[in-house]
Amino acid sequence: MSTDWLSSALVFGLFEVVMYIGMGFLLHMQLGLAGIGNFGVVGFWGLGMYAYGIIYGGHAPSGTDLIIDIPWPFGDPWQAIASVILATLVAGLGGLLIGWIISGMDLDGQLVGTFGFAAIVFLLARSQKGLTGSEGGIGGLDFPYDIGSEKANAMLWLLVASAIVIAIGYYTWRVHRSPYGRLLIATGQNEPLARSLGKPSNLTKLWMFTVTSAGMGLLGAMFAVIVHFLTPLKLGVDVTLAVIVALILGGAARVWGPVIGVLLTVGLFEIVVQLYAPFPDSWYRQAMPVVKQIIYGMSLIVVLMYRPLGILGDMRRDKLMRSIHGD
Amino acid sequence: MLEVRDLRSGYHGVTVIKGLSLEVGNEVFTILGANGAGKTTLLATMARLIPLMGGELLFEGEDISKVPPWESAARGIGYVPQEKGLFPELTVGENLNVGGMIGDRDRQERVDEIYELFPDLAVLEDQLAGTLSGGEGRMLACGRALMQDPKMLLLDEPTAGLSPLYVDMFFESVTKIHETRGVGIVLAEQNATKALEVADRVMVLSLGEAFVIEEAGNLTTEQLKEGYRI
Ligand SMILES: Nc1ncnc2c1ncn2[C@@H]1O[C@H](COP(=O)(O)OP(=O)(O)O)[C@@H](O)[C@H]1O
Ligand SMILES: [Mg+2]
């Protein structure tokens, strides 16, 4: 089978779409189900990404090692697999800590708290030269296998990521139908009352935030592998905005909302516009990233003006709650 | 069943309940008192939503002064707050199902019992709880708590602001809940006349203290007036 139509750029675009769908599922559980406002998505994702780079043993572009240099007793792919798992755990720990800090806060407090967390991750990435390589970044992150060409390697990684995102989607779908999900929904709607339902609602919520944050970190670690090279510039607020806008566009309360939303935003930008729109080359390098940020930023403002949780409230009705009757 | 010993509680250092002791068994126990007397504070403390500042809270002989609210619910104390007693974006049926998160009996069986108790709710099964009228909402809040099969039900002013028709209906339901389900009831009320009709015993709460605790039939108008005077 010929795969000429599948350019490296398209593989990368598809990877981004798949990854953002996964992020959308995870934010859907936080915001759509439990009503937790996470404005620091990029922080958890970036924590996983950088943790992977550091743990796997990436090095500064100059070739100097970072402070943390784990003497791996085994090579790839196990080294990469172990690093992905550890990076996921690190992001989960971050989620546990931040989830605990914001647990008593209202929506505004949660947004500020998570945003602050993302800012801290960014600052660490930029300033801790020994740990993160600061502006110089972390390089040396190759695919943990070689099946011939860069493109073939990337395609295989896309398949792995797709499998992971399908698993995340399946987990999300299961959560909707479980008593655990019902308690989350109740907590999101009326937290004081949910405390009196007979199950530990606050622990349930904290656990969900921990698990979903770990999932964001997992996707960040996956991303680290496909880009090979990490810099603080990757930790822009546009990552967070993309997930939020996609989620709200697609319907934050529905399982399929993130899929639709991401296809309409990231898919449109990273694939359709990026690869097939007849713009001059210089546009893509200079104007496009800016245009993208502006559009995401403006969509967010529009959404906030029209009260996201109001919209959420209505959309929540559509499909989500049907599942609540069953077990 | 539910015992309060020298209980003190309140908010941020402001003591509202100032050393209260009482014991409620399998009965209808009414708490009367003027606005601000501390009825809501007392019930929320019993439901473990407000921390104790002093004293003890016991349920079935065990100290529950420090258990989290979900555990007091799991042990059998159902709580219907004065306001916000339902999940507004869930339907009536969903509210009941969520309410029945604990308990061993078949959930649908329990839902059917609630519909039998409050027939109005059955018709509204698929309506959003946030769109219910005041009276319907109170019934749902109460039904939601009953889904937990509680041994003791704390009801905070369930008839405040309702039309007379609903008030009568609600008090009838309270009696029915107590008699047919064997649930002990603590009922905070402003509506003294009606509440006294259904109560076995009554406490008049005044500025966070028990002004009088008496058999409902023995409470005198004088005591009531005195207790309501601040
Ligand atoms: N959240 C709160 N923070 C501080 N004070 C409160 C709070 N809620 C109630 N109070 C005060 O506690 C006292 C008792 O209120 P409450 O228990 O609501 O009385 P009741 O239910 O009998 O009307 C009042 O003086 C009220 O102002
Ligand atoms: Mg009150």
Check residue A137 and give its pLDDT.
Answer: 86
Give residue B230's pLDDT.
58
**CA B230 – ligand 1 centroid, Å:** 15
Q: What is the pLDDT of residue B210?
A: 78
Q: Is residue A34 part of a domain?
A: yes
Phi/psi at B23 (nearest 5 deg)? Answer: -135, 130
- Using a pLDDT cut of 90, give the percent of chain A over it: 50
Q: Of B132, B70, B68, give the one whose Cα is nearest residue B95.
A: B132
Confidence of residue A306 (pLDDT cuts 50, 70, 90): low
Domain coverage including residue A133? 8-235
Nearest chain B Cα distance for residue A270, angstroms: 36
Is residue A89 domain-resident?
Answer: yes
For the residues B165-190, what does the mean pLDDT come to?
92
**% of residues, chain B, pLDDT over 70:** 100
Whether residue B71 has pLDDT greater than 80: yes
For the segment A212-237, the average pLDDT, to the nearest whole number, is 94
ipTM: 0.90
pLDDT at residue A264 tops 90: no
Name the minimum distance, in Å, from the CA of A138 to any CA of chain B.
46
Number of domains composing chain B:
1
Residue A298 domain flag? no
In CATH, what number is assigned to the domain containing residue B148? 3.40.50.300
By C-alpha distance, the chain B residue nearest A313 is B89
Per-residue pLDDT tens for B125-157? Answer: 999 999 999 899 999 999 999 999 999 999 999
Mean per-residue pLDDT for B12-41?
Answer: 92
Ligand 1 atom closest to B33 (CA): 22
- Structural domain contains residue A231: yes
- Is residue A46 in a domain? yes
φ, ψ for residue A88, nearest 5 deg: -60, -45
* Percentage of chain A modeled with pLDDT above 70: 90
C-alpha B155 to ligand 2 mean position (Å): 10
What lies within 8 Å, CB to CB, of A138 at 6+ separation is A50, A53, A54, A58, A59, A60, A66, A132, A229, A230, A231
B87-104 confidence digits (pLDDT tens): 998 899 999 999 998 988
Q: How do residues A145-175 score in pLDDT, each as one tens digit?
A: 999 899 999 999 999 999 999 999 999 999 9
Instruction: Write out the residue range of the structural domain in which residue B78 sits.
Output: 2-228
Whether residue A313 has pLDDT greater than 60:
no
Residue A179 is assigned to a structural domain of this protein: yes
Q: What pLDDT is stored for residue A22 in this prediction?
A: 96
With H, G, I as helix, E, B as strand and everything else as coil, classify residue B17: strand
Average per-residue pLDDT for chain A: 85
Q: Answer whether B159 contacts ligand 1 (Cβ < 6 A).
A: no
* Number of structural domains chain A divides into: 1
Res. A317: pLDDT tops 70: no
Number of neighbouring beta carbons within 10 Å of residue B145? 26
Q: B35 in ligand 1 pocket by Cβ < 6 Å?
A: yes
